[in-house]
Amino acid sequence: MLKKLSLLAAVLLCPGINHAQDLLPPETSIQDAVDHYIKSEQATGNIQPAAQVDDYVLMRRTMLDLAGRIPTIAEVEAYVADEDPQKRVKLVDRLMAQPEFTEQLAYDLNNILAPAGKTDLELYLVDALTAQKGWDTMFADMIYGNYEEEMPKQAMQFVNLRISDIDNLTNATSALFFGVNISCAKCHDHPLVSEWTQAHFYGMKSFFNRSFSNGDFVAERAYGEIKYATTSGEQLDAQLMFLTGSVIEEPEPVVLDDEGKKKEKADFEQLKKDKKPAPAPAFSRRAQLIEIALRENDREYFSKNIANRMWHRIYGYGLVMPLDQMHPENPPSHPDLLDWLARDTYANGYNLPRLIRGLVLSQTYSQSSRYDGEKRPAEFWFAAANVKPLSPRQYAAALAIAARNPAHWEDASEAESRIANEVKAQRGWANKFAVPNDEFQVSVDEALLFSNDTAFEDKIKVSNDRLGGELAKLETTEAMVQRAIKAVYSRPATPEEVQAISAYLDARNDRREDAISQIVWALMTSSELRFNH
Report the first-to-last Cα separation within the chain, whole angstroms.
Answer: 23
Whether 104 is covered by a domain: the verdict is: no
The answer to whether residue 474 is domain-embedded is yes
* Domain-located, residue 488: yes
Contacts of residue 27, Cβ cutoff 8 Å, sequence gap at least 6: none
User: Which residues are CB-contacts of 103 (< 8 A; sequence separation ≥ 6)?
Assistant: 68, 126
Strand 388-389 versus strand 235-237 pairing type: unpaired
Rounded CA separation 78/110 (Å): 33
528 and 396 together in one domain: yes
Smallest Cα–Cα separation from 68: which of 427, 487, 403, 350? 427
pLDDT reported for residue 15: 40
| Angle between helix 300-315 and 352-360 (nearest 10) | 40
Q: Which residues contact 475 (CB under 8 A, 6 or more apart)?
A: none
- Number of structural domains in the chain: 3
In a domain, 232, yes or no: yes
Angle at which helices 285-294 and 300-315 pack, to 10 degrees? 70
Q: What is the domain range of residue 219?
A: 163-294
Ramachandran assignment for 255, one of left (phi > 0), alpha (psi -120 to 50 degrees), beta (any other): beta
Look at residue 192 in the predicted model and tell me its pLDDT: 66
Query: In terms of domains, do 245 and 312 share one?
Result: no
Confidence (pTM): 0.93
* Same structural domain, 444 and 355: no
CA 363, CA 365: separation in Å to the nearest integer? 5
Task: List the Cα angle 337/338/342 in 5-degree steps.
Answer: 120
CA distance 392 to 229: 44
Q: Which amino acid is at 28?
A: T
pLDDT of 21 reads 60
Looking at the structure, tell me whether residues 397 and 430 fall in a common domain. yes
Do 255 and 178 share a domain, yes or no? yes
- The answer to whether position 168 is within a domain reads yes
Residues 448, 349: one domain?
no
The three-class DSSP label of residue 250 is coil
In a domain, 89, yes or no: no
Query: What stretch of H or E contains 89?
Result: helix 87-96
Shared domain check, 308 and 284? no
Considering the domain boundaries, does residue 67 fall inside one?
no
Of the three residues 265, 294, 323, the one that is the final residue of a domain is 294
Residue 344 and residue 442 in one domain: no
Assign 222 to helix, strand or coil: coil
CB 50 within 8 A of CB 367: yes
Residue 259 belongs to some domain of the structure: yes
- Render 46-79 in DSSP notation, one character per residue: TPPPPPBP-HHHHHHHHHHHHHSSPPPHHHHHHH
Tell me, what's the pLDDT at 232? 82
Strands 388-389, 531-532: parallel, antiparallel or unpaired by DSSP?
antiparallel
Do 382 and 315 touch, CB atoms closer than 8 A?
yes
Residue that finishes a domain, picked among 360, 383, 406: 383
Each residue's pLDDT, cut to its tens digit, for the chain (533 residues) gives 334 433 333 333 444 444 556 899 999 999 999 999 999 999 999 999 999 999 999 999 999 999 999 999 999 999 999 999 999 999 999 999 999 999 999 999 999 998 766 768 999 999 999 999 999 999 999 999 989 888 999 999 999 999 999 999 999 999 999 999 988 877 767 666 777 788 999 999 999 999 999 998 999 999 999 999 888 888 999 999 999 999 999 998 889 999 999 999 999 999 999 999 999 999 999 999 999 999 999 999 999 999 999 999 999 999 999 999 998 889 999 999 999 999 999 999 999 999 999 999 999 999 999 999 889 999 999 999 999 999 999 999 999 999 999 999 988 889 999 999 999 999 999 999 988 988 888 889 999 999 999 999 999 999 999 999 999 999 899 999 999 999 999 999 999 999 999 999 999 999 999 999 999 999 999 999 999 99
Q: Do residues 224 and 190 share a domain?
A: yes
Write the single-letter amino acid at 240.
L
> Does residue 398 sit in the same domain as residue 490?
yes
Q: Are 169 and 208 in contact (CB under 8 A)?
A: yes
Residue 285 and residue 188 in one domain? yes
Looking at 349, 383, 417, the residue that finishes a domain is 383
Asked if 432 and 330 sit in the same domain, the reply is no
